Amino acid sequence: MVDAIKLLTQQHREVDELFEKFEKASEGKGEQVLMDLFARIADNLAAHATIEEKIFYPSVYVGPTADKLQEAVEEHLAVKRVIADLLDMDPFDAQFKAKMKVLQEMVEHHVEEEEKQIFKSVKKLMTKEELATLGEQMEVMFNELIQTEPRLQVPRETDEAAPLPQ
């Protein structure tokens, strides 16, 4: 059983690898390869954001993490807006590649802050057992979501940031 922080970190690495594959593929591969990689990136980001917003963030929303989590859901919103734009674009359009690069940079920034600040605080706030329980819930939800092309839900999630407990 994987704990919540390890699960999220593992997903961060998987998306990093997908971005690298996309960069290499954009140097002459066919349109279908690019679309498949974009779909995998967008699906992984959409499912990842959902498990963070519905399970992880509400569970760790306390004093030391509250401000950073507010910032994190705003970053998720910005990422979702870029994904929604990309869903309507041709992958061979020069703007598509530029927007993918912007998406990658946004995700890298978000991941760095999350791993260096939020996760560090959460490790002090929660027991290993609590993190394991959260991780199990998150893994189940992620595995269910990833089967449903979650990227297709993203355009409906671009009006405002996900709500956090008050």
pLDDT in tens, 46-56: 999 999 999 99
Structural domain boundaries enclosing 104? 4-150
The two three-digit tokens of residue 113, written as one number: 């802050």
Q: Is the torsion defined by CA of 51, 53, 54, 56 positive or negative?
A: positive
Give the helix/strand (H/E) hosting 36: helix 31-51
Residue 15 lies inside a defined structural domain of this protein: yes
Residue 66 lies inside a defined structural domain of this protein: yes
- For residue 97, which amino acid is it? K
Task: Name the domain count of the chain.
Answer: 1
The pLDDT of 81-91, averaged and rounded, is: 94
Give the pLDDT score at 165. Answer: 84
Residue 155 lies inside a defined structural domain of this protein: no
Residue 156 lies inside a defined structural domain of this protein: no
Residue 99 lies inside a defined structural domain of this protein: yes
pTM for the full predicted model: 0.94
CATH code, domain carrying 17: 1.20.120.520
Residue 163 lies inside a defined structural domain of this protein: no
Residue 164 lies inside a defined structural domain of this protein: no
Average pLDDT, the chain: 94
Residue 165 lies inside a defined structural domain of this protein: no
pLDDT in tens, 69-78: 999 999 999 9
Q: How far apart are CA 66 and CA 121, in angstroms?
A: 11
pLDDT in tens, 113-159: 999 999 999 999 999 999 999 999 999 999 999 999 999 999 999 99
